[in-house]
Chain A
């Protein structure tokens, strides 16, 4: 059986000027949480949007393979894609305030998708919405269905977004920074909820985040992105125990860990900033910030296997 989502050598550029995604490959299996982690501008959100075919006009998407349950997504008509989107594959966005429509009630937004994809009555759809709101931990779901987004707190809005994404029982859920706009205590609650739902419903979850703490706690598998490429990919435990790519190593050193902080020591940091990369760029994109770089890094870099399913993109040997 093919994987739930397969992405192979995905490339996205904007008007032929900025190469946002440069040959990203990864798969999401049924029932697994795959985290795409990276800093702003590394192409992780563009990757998510291009899977859902929601890229802005002017963006070009190419891929050697882009398939959902073995079905090629590349040649699908807009109509066929619209049948999948919000139905079999759903997405949760970062900012629940801007992704909910302020002019419609929670109930009407939640039922719209289900009524469009399935032949159900408004009554049935509303019942399902109320069930799901209760499922995501919202008390008094009947009341919430009649409310508008501005009447809900940030944490509640994000729960509504999650419930809405689950309306059609998707097989794949893509969550783009679902907790970044929330407070830490609320973030923990929402992530627990996502992890529980993912396990109970056997969802494939593609979670996009910049936070290595979230990755460590929730991911089955991690792909680290830098400048539009996956530079390292491994099972979560392997990546944290044995990071191979200098960027991954640097990123892990930058994260202050409570209780393990030596206050007089400077934090590990990565010098410089992410470069802007145009089409036709060659070599390792991290070389200007890397302590191990030499002249060979300006040419094509090999992908090494570090045992099992752990691989990384670097001239350094495993």
Chain B
């Protein structure tokens, strides 16, 4: 039995035109390069990758904040760009990384959370107030905290406000872009637990973007590893963490410093050449840093080798 598809991304490509300076020629930066994936209803797809790999772009495409240069995105069977903005807001909502810049510092918490309801323009004042109060309580904020300004709250509390604002319209899908990266570890755990609880209770689907592999392992049912605009490996979470196949996935996992004393800092074996999204290498885009690259890796483009629930893009895996 397979769950119906919540998010479907087909052959999506997104390029940006970037100008370095006044006199330099604009360059094409490929943020997402022919990526296809789907997320079943109730699933959590974790997307991991390092800065500049383009991992935030799929989030913004799925939210309809950006238009893909090619390809198609459907959310719950509807083309996201063809949807009316209000309908889209009822279906899919974001939670962003930085609760310090994503909340208006001059608006009281309860008004921030009420905004999406008011924007719909169909609810009366009393209903809005009850819905906001319910939502604040649901994310663990008191009625008194609802009357405060975001600047008077801690980082964790602000992220709770952002979650309340995202969920107040009862969306089906939430796109979380690094939702805990700005938080301390003790607070990060609170927010991750809250997100997990809400997903279970409300039957939500998450696209969860993070650079923190441990966090992704905790929340995601499936993980996609992104490198320079492509998903180089996608597997069910257990498989990916137990048997990573792509050399980049292996290096990422090896770089995680678990709190185990005596092990020292691992040598991840990646060279110093850092990836540049404006200058994607031919062949396998990972080959300049790959510890096991062969000559053909710089020429041949690796095909997708399918796996149950995913696939790997590497010439050197069977």
Binding site for B on A (CB under 8 A): 39-40, 137-139, 153-156, 183-189, 191-192, 195, 210-219, 236-237, 240-241, 250-259, 261, 263, 266-271, 273-274
With A213-B259, A254-B186 known as contacts, the answer to whether A218 contacts B265 (CB < 8 A) is yes
Contacts of B218 on A, CB cut-off 8 Å?
256, 261, 263, 267
The verdict on B274 contacting chain A, using a C-beta distance below 8 Å, is yes
Q: Give the CA-CA distance A213 to B261 in the complex, in Å.
A: 8
Mask: chain B, 253-265; 1 = CB below 8 Å from A; 0 = not: 1111111111111
What 3 pairs between A and B have smallest CB-CB spacing? Answer: A213-B257, A269-B189, A39-B184
Interface string of B153-189 (1 = CB under 8 A from A): 0111100000000000000000000000000111111
- Give chain B residues whose Cβ lies under 8 Å from the Cβ of A267: 189, 192-193, 218
* Residues of chain B from 198 to 247 with CB closer than 8 A to chain A in the complex: 211, 213-215, 217-218, 237, 241-242
- Check B214 against A188 for contact (C-beta < 8 Å): no
Q: How far is the CA of A20 from the CA of B270 in the complex (A)?
A: 40
Contact status of A266 and B196, CB under 8 A, knowing A185-B270, A195-B265, A213-B256: yes
| In the complex, chain B residues whose CB is within 8 Å of the CB of A195 | 264-265
- Residues of B near A186 (CB, < 8 A) are 50, 274
Residue in A closest to B221 when the chains form the complex, CB atoms: A263
Residue ID in chain A nearest B215 by CB atoms: A256
Sorting the interface of chain B by its residue count into under 10, 10 to 19, 20 to 34 or 35 or more gives 35 or more
For residue B84, CB closer than 8 A to chain A, the reply is no
The distance in angstroms between the C-alpha atoms of A274 and B156, with both chains bound, is 11
Whether A216 and B267, one on each chain, are in contact in the complex, defined by CB atoms closer than 8 angstroms, is no
Show 18 A/B contacts (Cβ-Cβ < 8 Å), sorted by A. Answer: A184-B213, A184-B255, A188-B254, A213-B256, A215-B259, A240-B261, A241-B261, A250-B186, A251-B186, A252-B259, A256-B215, A256-B217, A257-B214, A258-B241, A261-B214, A269-B189, A270-B190, A271-B190
Do residues B255 and A188 form an inter-chain contact, with CB atoms below 8 A? Answer: yes
Contact A217 B256 (CB under 8 A): no
User: Given the interface contacts A269-B190, A271-B190, does A255 sit within 8 Å of B185 by beta carbon?
Assistant: yes
| Contacting pair A185 B251 (CB below 8 A) | yes
Smallest CB separation, B197 vs chain A (Å): 8
Contacts of A153 in B (CB 8 A): 274
Would you call B190 and A185 a contact (CB within 8 A)? no
A149 to chain B, nearest CB (A): 15
Is the beta-carbon distance between A258 and B213 smaller than 8 angstroms?
yes
Q: Which of A183, A241, A250 gathers most chain B CB within 10 Å? A: A183
A217 and B185 within 8 A (CB): no
A266 to B192: give the CA distance in the assembly, Å. Answer: 8
Given A183-B211, A213-B258, also A191-B186 (CB < 8 A): no
**B189 near A216: Cβ-Cβ < 8 Å:** no
Q: For the complex, give the distance between the alpha carbons of A154 and B272 in Å.
A: 11
Contacts of B156 in A (CB 8 A): 273
Is the pair A257, B189 in contact by a Cβ cutoff of 8 Å? no
Q: Is the CB of B265 within 8 A of A188?
A: yes
B109 CB contacts on chain A under 8 angstroms:
none
A217, B257: Cβ atoms closer than 8 Å: yes
Contacts A184-B256, A214-B257 given; 13 further ones with Cβ under 8 A? Answer: A138-B272, A192-B266, A213-B259, A216-B258, A216-B263, A255-B214, A258-B253, A259-B242, A261-B218, A263-B217, A263-B237, A266-B197, A270-B189
